[in-house]
Amino acid sequence: MRTQVAIIGGGPAGLLLSHLLHLQGIDSVVLESRDRDYVEHRQRAGMLEQGTTDVLRETGVGERLDREGLVHHGLELRFGGAGHRVPLTDLTGRTVTVYAQTEIVKDLVARRLADGGDVRFEAEVVGLDASAPSVTFRSGGETRTLDCDYIAGCDGFHGVSRPAVPDVRTFEREYPFAWLGILADVAPSTEELIYANHDRGFALHSLRSPQVSRLYLQVSPDEDIAKWSDARIWDELATRFATDDGWKLHEGPITGKSITPMRSFVAEPLRHDRLFLAGDAGHIVPPTGAKGLNLAVSDVIVLARALSERYASGSQTLLDGYSDACLRRVWRAEHFSYWMTTLLHVDPAASDFERRLQRSHLDYVASSEAAKTSLAENYAGLPIL
């Protein structure tokens, strides 16, 4: 078997890369270890930057996004029993859109298959050679080798690509908390997202549609999900979102529950020879601020551009600049995600002094146009260069 670009991983990064390369006349094969149903229903991200929606639209996979995506112009910070709006669009001229990662994945899989693309599910990559480029994968009980010109490692944090970069330098931070996320069949209690800080911990009210709410609670990293009955989850959410003016949280049947650890992680460089890392394979952000999926998208835009230049003119300049170009944006998002996580979560080890500083920081962001503008500029997303 042979292709121009072997793509390991059929998450948003791998699928979008394959689509972008196809539009430039470049062949790829996507190898995904899980089955299609699993990949299309794994609950994860929900908030898209305008740069992400623009690319989906401009490359012809934005039709359902335009119909079903919910465009937002602001968000709420809630603490001390009161809400404070950050008017994202007024401050930045940009919007953000709620459209679940599951839906982007469905749209991209459907489009690749309709375009005759080669996307293989239940095909697990077990080895790769970044110098005489090839990947070895298991599928249907057989082990096969795919020869290629380049390998895109889009296989997420636990994949095989990053360990294949020798002398990789990693930068990491673990947080003393995790997120318990739920999906519930109930109309959202808010039009805009609410990021809440409460003495008992952080809570986030997001949504998936006018009928489906998505909510998150800060819990401890070793939390046992079995201890969280539906009633306990709703009680805790109501406590953390409570305001002095009697705002009400709508409750409804919970259809999904999971716990996600929080970490910051960057690998440098994002390249070894003919292997390029993109998305969660190269970096992780804590979810506060919704940057993970958006970073995966910006990485593959840069990679698709570089590979197009290479095939069109033979020039390697953009490929050589890939890692540095992505890392500049990655580190900005790393800082913002760390900052927003620290601003909003309760660190169980924080001293009273640190808690007072955090409260002062929240008051400042809520009351200063300059501070809100900085939050808004990062949240809505900096331009993809």
Helix (H, G, I), strand (E, B) or coil at 48: strand
Site string for ligand FAD, 5-34 (x = CB under 6 A): ---xxxxxxx----------------xxxx
Q: How is 148-210 classified by DSSP, letter by letter?
A: -SEEEE---TTSSSGGGSTT-EEEEEEEEEEEEEEEESS--S-SS-EEEEETTEEEEEEEEET
In the residue annotation, 364 being an active-site residue is answered as no
In this structure, the strands spanning 123-129 and 118-120 are unpaired
Q: Which residue is nearest to ligand DHB (CB)?
A: 46
Position 218 contacts ligand FAD (CB under 6 A): no
Phi, psi for residue 345 in degrees, rounded to 5: -90, 160
In the residue annotation, 99 being an active-site residue is answered as no
Amino acid type, 128: L
* Residues contacting 141, CB < 8 A, separation 6+: none
Position 381 contacts ligand DHB (CB under 6 A): no
In the residue annotation, 72 being an active-site residue is answered as yes
Q: How is 103-166 classified by DSSP, letter by letter?
A: HHHHHHHHHHHHTT-EEESSEEEEEEETTTTEEEEEETTEEEEEE-SEEEE---TTSSSGGGST
Min separation Cβ 347 and ligand FAD, Å? 20
Buried b (16+ CB within 10 A) or exposed e, 280-311: bbbbbbbbbbbbbbbbbbbbbbbbbbbbbbbb
Q: Candidates 128, 287, 293, 343: give the one binding ligand DHB (CB under 6 A).
A: 287
Position 289 contacts ligand DHB (CB under 6 A): yes
Q: Please give the Cα distance from 73 to 96 (Å, whole number).
A: 7
Q: Candidates 20, 21, 29, 39: give the one binding ligand FAD (CB under 6 A).
A: 39
By beta-carbon proximity to ligand FAD, the closer residue of 159 and 349 is 159
Where in 193-212 is the site for ligand DHB (CB under 6 A)? 193, 206
In the residue annotation, 379 being an active-site residue is answered as yes
Helix 101-114 vs helix 12-23: angle between axes, to the nearest 10 degrees? 40
Q: Which among ligand DHB, ligand FAD, none contacts residue 12 (Cβ within 5 to 8 A by kind)?
A: ligand FAD
Site string for ligand FAD, 98-137 (x = CB under 6 A): ---x----------------------xx------------
Q: Candidates 294, 323, 337, 378: give the one binding ligand FAD (CB under 6 A).
A: 294
Where in 20-49 is the site for ligand DHB (CB under 6 A)? 45-47
Window contacting ligand FAD (CB under 6 A); options: 248-256, 265-273, 285-293, 343-351: 285-293
Min separation Cβ 367 and ligand FAD, Å? 26
- CA torsion, ordered 24, 29, 33, 35, to nearest 10 deg: 80
In the residue annotation, 291 being an active-site residue is answered as yes
Positions marked active-site: 72, 195, 287, 291, 379
Residues at the contact surface with ligand FAD, assessed by CB under 6 A: 8-14, 31-34, 39, 44-47, 101, 124-125, 154-156, 159-160, 181, 260, 279-280, 287, 290-294, 296
